[in-house]
Copies of this chain bind each other. A is one copy, B any other.
Amino acid sequence: MIEHSIPAASAQRFIRAAFESQGFDAGAADKVAALMVEADLQGSDGHGIIRLPQYIKRIRAGGINKDPHIRVVREQAATALVDGDNGMGHLVVSFATELAIGKARQSGMAWVNTRMSNHAGPASLYVRRVVAEGLICLYFAVGNANHLAPWGGTELMLSTNPIAVGLPTRDEPPVILDMATTMAAYGKVKAKAKRGEMMPPGWMIDRQGQPLLDPARSAEGLLLPIGGYKGYGLALVVGLLAGTLGGAAMGRQVVDFNADHTSLTNTGQAVAVIDPAAFGDAEEFRKSADTVVRDIRSSERMSGVDRIWLPGEQSFEKHARYTAGGFPLSQGLLDELNALAQELDIEPLIQMASA
Q: Report which A residues bind B (CB closer than 8 A).
A: 74, 76-79, 81, 106-111, 113, 136, 149-155, 157-158, 163, 165, 167, 175, 177, 179, 183, 207, 209, 226-227, 229-231, 233-234, 236-237, 239-241, 244-247, 250-252, 272, 274-276, 278-280, 284-285, 288-289, 291-292, 295-296, 299-302, 305, 307-311
Contact = CB atoms under 8 A, between A and B. Distances in A.
Nearest to A74: B279
Closest 10 CB pairs of A and B: A226-B227, A79-B108, A76-B108, A78-B78, A152-B305, A155-B299, A77-B107, A78-B107, A233-B311, A165-B237
Contacts of A280: 74, 81, 246-247
Contacts of A292: 236, 239-240, 244, 250-251
A301 to B, nearest CB: 6
Contacts of A231: 226-227
A326 B81 CA distance: 45
A240 B154 CA distance: 36
Nearest to A230: B179
A84 to B, nearest CB: 15
Nearest to A280: B247
One complex includes copies of this chain to the number of 2
A246 to B, nearest CB: 5
A183 B226 CA distance: 9
A200 to B, nearest CB: 11
Nearest to A166: B237
Contact of A79 (B109, B234, B300): B109
Contacts of A302: 152-154, 207, 209
A108 B152 contact: no
Among A150, A284, A285, A289, chain B packs the most CB atoms within 10 A around the CB of A150
A107 B106 CA distance: 11
B113 A279 contact: yes
A57 B334 CA distance: 67
A274 B246 CA distance: 12
A183 B108 CA distance: 34
A279 B237 contact: no
A111 B175 contact: no
Given A76-B107, A165-B241, A81 B295 contact: no
A179 B233 contact: yes
Given A78-B110, A150-B308, A244-B288, 19 more contacts: A74-B279, A76-B108, A77-B106, A79-B274, A79-B279, A81-B279, A107-B107, A150-B296, A153-B301, A153-B308, A157-B299, A175-B237, A175-B240, A226-B227, A236-B292, A236-B296, A236-B310, A244-B289, A244-B292
